[in-house]
Copies of this chain bind each other. A is one copy, B any other.
Amino acid sequence: MITKKELSLCPVETTVSLISNKWKTLILRELLSGTKRFGELRNGISGVSQKVLTQNLRSMEDDGIIGRKVYAEVPPRVEYFLTDLGNTLRPIIDAMAEWGLGYQAMVNNSNETNVASR
């Protein structure tokens, strides 16, 4: 559910309190391309343990950013997806992706003179 304590903070702090975590951002990146199963998320996010992935998924579910659908099957199948609220975070992730591309390009070019383009 949605907690109220964030409301006392500034907008940036509100956002930071929900997605500041490294893994949450990467989970968002994964889910922006569509619904994913638990195993797909674990495989898609390099370096995350099952425990930490589960913890973050639960936290994001509690915050209303992602949804979780459990299929009553054997073997079990659980799908995660962005809620409408989660989808509104897309511009932030897009901005981060775009910046990351620019940064990577800059680092590649900065081997000689990184003050050339100003």
Measured CA separation A7–B72 after assembly (Å): 42
**Interface residues of A, CB < 8 Å — how many?**
42
Shortest CB-to-CB span from A86 to chain B, Å, is 11
Q: Which of A10, A21, A99, A104 has the most CB of B within 10 A?
A: A99
Among candidates B2, B96, B107, residue contacting A7 with C-beta atoms closer than 8 Å: B107
Proximity bits, A74-107, B CB within 8 Å = 1, else 0: 0000000000110011011101111111111011
Measured CA separation A93–B20 after assembly (Å): 12
Chain A positions near chain B (C-beta within 8 angstroms): 2, 4, 6-7, 10-18, 20-22, 25-26, 29, 84-85, 88-89, 91-93, 95-104, 106-108, 110-111, 118
